[in-house]
Structure 1
Amino acid sequence: MSNAKEPPRQKMIGMMYLVLTCLLALNVTKEVLQGFVTINESIETTNSNFTSNTQNMMKAFEVAIKKGKNEAKPYYVKAKEVTQLSQKTFDYITTLKQNIQQYTEGVKGADTMKLARIEKLDDYDKPTYLLIGPDETKPADTKYSAKELRKNITTLTTELNKMIDEMHYKKGTVLPDADYLILKEKIKLFTPHDNFRDKDGKAIGWELKNFYNMPLAGVITNLSKMQSDIRNIESEMVTTFAGAAGKLNIIFNEMEACIVPVSNYVQSGSPFTANVFLTASSSDFKEDNLQFILGDMDTSTGKISEEAIILPMDKGTGKINLPTSTAGHKEIKGWVRLKGPDGFYKYYEYKNDYVVANAAVAVSPDKMNVFYIGVDNPLTVSSAGVAPTDLIVNVSGCGATIANSGNGKYITKASSTGTCIVTVMAKTANGIKQQGPPQFFRVKRFPNPPLKVSGKSTYGNLEMKLADAKNMNTLGVDNAGFDFVAQFKMEKFSMCTVIGGTASAPIYCNGNQLTNEAKEALKKLKVGSKVYFEDIKVIAPDGPRDFSDIKVVVK
């Protein structure tokens, strides 16, 4: 087995891609082809994440060099060379995908097309002809052919192999044996080869294995997967070079199972709930590279305030042990200080609330078991033997506030997701006393409502008669069906049409009304045409949101 470990997301995408590829051997349905669209979008998102990670590591290189870490310079030069080589091959595949899409779809002029907008996802012939040629026994060696793609990938892997071979023992750019072998294995797995056989056991080449008799949806997804492999190798090499340059490279070798109860106080008849998870730490964690601070500090200078303390640490875990004397709401906060990959400290703030209490109290939401952001959440609070006017109710977490509406009724508002803590105290003859354990409420964003196209609700696709489609004039939000008073308002969107396989330029509309230009475009629709509403921006109770695209098919 290979030592080149893949991130979990990359493994998941690879497994889904393998399943869909196997389904191509069957009489595939439109749903299977649509599955390739979904996988392709996930791969493209992964590619963006790899790019972002690589850029961040390159910035860390530059910061280290500016601060006098000259030993990082030779590795930075090699890392930059890796990104340039990778980008060249990545860009070539992007251009190849554009050519295949335009050739198969018969659409010229546009630089890019969303795979979801492609009509001929099940076309086998044109992609095969463009990439393989008319005779599968002699794959074509033409511009934008599979053979030319193979040459580009082989050139990349050859250059990368040559680079790490030279670095392996060279003074100034030495690569540890373990890192060198992992990189060699990753590059080997991506290098094209002809070790394939068809279902009859006949030997076939790399070109036929990847592109022969494959529908357009599979071809584009396959190319996106190759781009993902390039970004993965690029990220791995840059990260390895950074580690080899003398930067901190922590190995997590201490594992422990932990359980964190939502509450240690459970009333009879209530469930005990907790989160169980596996933590990873390192025996390399010492006070010189990791500290847990309880209290405040200046992260710009690294100076700890006089009131703050450095917590004792055991196996990479900070230990808090605070005495309690009076009931009530408590808050703790502090910082975790970790020496980062560039040799400099990074700071992570933590905060937590807890309540010291031991009495009976009832707190119940009036509508649901969650609070929603940006709206009034009604709440009823009562405590046995205590008049509603003698209750003092507080809420903490998620930027939440609470207002007394009288007679035990309250309105809460929250501004961020997470968990709110509601605490209840009572005015008694002996002073203010805590009433029962704190109550925990999940805070969520309102779910997206359906959109309304000229009065018709939908979450995605609509079929519409020609006459109705030509008279579309609004794109709004269906606010009906909510128990809460929550209004979503359409801010803006774009519309384009696809008539006879030709896509129009997007027309941008503000508010929920179609512009005159959009209405004129609709008058040209025919049976079989499609209308796409994209770039949909809606003002929700908790702020602006992006909504999914809508496709209207004219029947």
Structure 2
Amino acid sequence: MAGAKETPRQKMIGMMYLVLTALLALQVNSAILLKFKFLDDSLIGVNDKTTQANQGAVKGIEAAVTKNRNQARDLAILKQGQEVRERTTKMVAYLRDIREKLLAATQEKGKAEMNMSGEDKVAMTMLGGKKDGAAYPLKDELNKYAEYIKQIVPNATPLALDAKDDKAVTEKDQKNKNFAELNFENTPVVAALAVLSQKETEVLKYEADALNQLSQKVGASTIVFDKVGAFASAESNTVAAGTKYKAELFLTASASSLRPSMTLNGSPLSVGPDGKGKVEFTARPGAFDAAGNAKASWKGTIRFNQNGRDTTFTVTVPYTVTKPVMQIQSASVQALYFKCGNKLSVQVPALGAQYDPSFSASGASTIKGSAKGEVTLVPNSREVTLSVSSGGNPIGSQTFQVRPIPKPEIKCIVGGREANEKQGTPVTAVRNMSLKAVADAGFATFLPEDARYRVTRYEVTLVRGKRPAIPTRTINGPDASLNDVVNTAREGDRLYIEVKEVQRMNFQGNTESVNVSKNFNIPLL
């Protein structure tokens, strides 16, 4: 059976089909024949109600199309729904006609009551003498109908199956029968009528599935924007006195029925109850031009589902990243790093072309830069006061706090990746080892020339149990070849590494020792 989740009525019909299949395989008495009659009557009653429901479904599609202002696409869907109803009506009439022929062939003359047996008359009517009975064209008509419905409901399967293709048939002696023999051979008339009623039920179920699919497509391309408001977009929220403030004022509209999902550069955005996504990110430095500006952009997507169809809108928003410039006037700037070349740009816009700065400092040495206003401070105390003069005239002073240099992180690299102190590292991976001193990311970003670290000396010991397996080796420099360790090590040994010396090279090319304590205890696998 095809379609969406089955209703309780459809589940009941499926169960009745299983009961019918089982009863057909039995030698039946008059009591069971009567139960076939009850089953047939129940299915006919259900089918009549389903027919009414399907007629109502077509009217529902028609009402939805009218409400949606009779758009061409929706009218085509309505026409298709009407065709489904017409095709189904013809298929049901075909089944009912066979019922009438079957009743006429099996009814005994002179008796008012129904002949519930009549297996021989059923065989002649449905099977025929040379496989020319009504059941053979019935199979073709049912499967033609199923193939038609499959255009709308892709998972619709044939309605009339031979025993070898019907999963409900499990008995070996039934598996070689075709559709006609399986359903009508040695079959009482009441059972044959129940089979026809069941096939009618399946036809109506397929129609209901098709109409449901079509009804979901009506209005799929129409979005009702029921929230309208005013919005202003300014070129900048900050303007200098005497300059122009520019903005665009316009109406916005949104649909409360939509539940959009949004992304920023491919990453999901949080969408509020009002349907708005909050865009926030840290601007990255780029290729700055002579004016200190870099062009950049971000990409946003808005995706929503309307009646089972996904729609995505994409927008690319350009923006400008401005290179940060420290202007020491009356405002403080970021703290400086101890014993590092902290470059500052000290500008006094009011002096214009007459600005000719000179610098002096307490708590630091100063190095004047090549460009006007540039100065490098190398702090030697916790606080630095920078004094600025121009043309011999004092301009002012600024006090800075000094922060210590963050210690680097020592990483042990073996076999091209970091050693795993928790889960262990394969013995063969430690043949070539290197200790890397990695600078703090923030420090390296601000002062890359002062963030050059190197591990210059460390000791390596292969430990087995509680004792060294080989004598401790002293390594000068970051890289080591540990062939002797690999040749000696066993599974369960540990490689103990103790860092003895790390050096930092500053912006002037001078080196100094860094007090870093770091040990590695690496299980060998």
Asked if TM exceeds 0.5, the reply is no
TM-score (norm 2): 0.38
TM-score normalised according to structure 1 size: 0.36
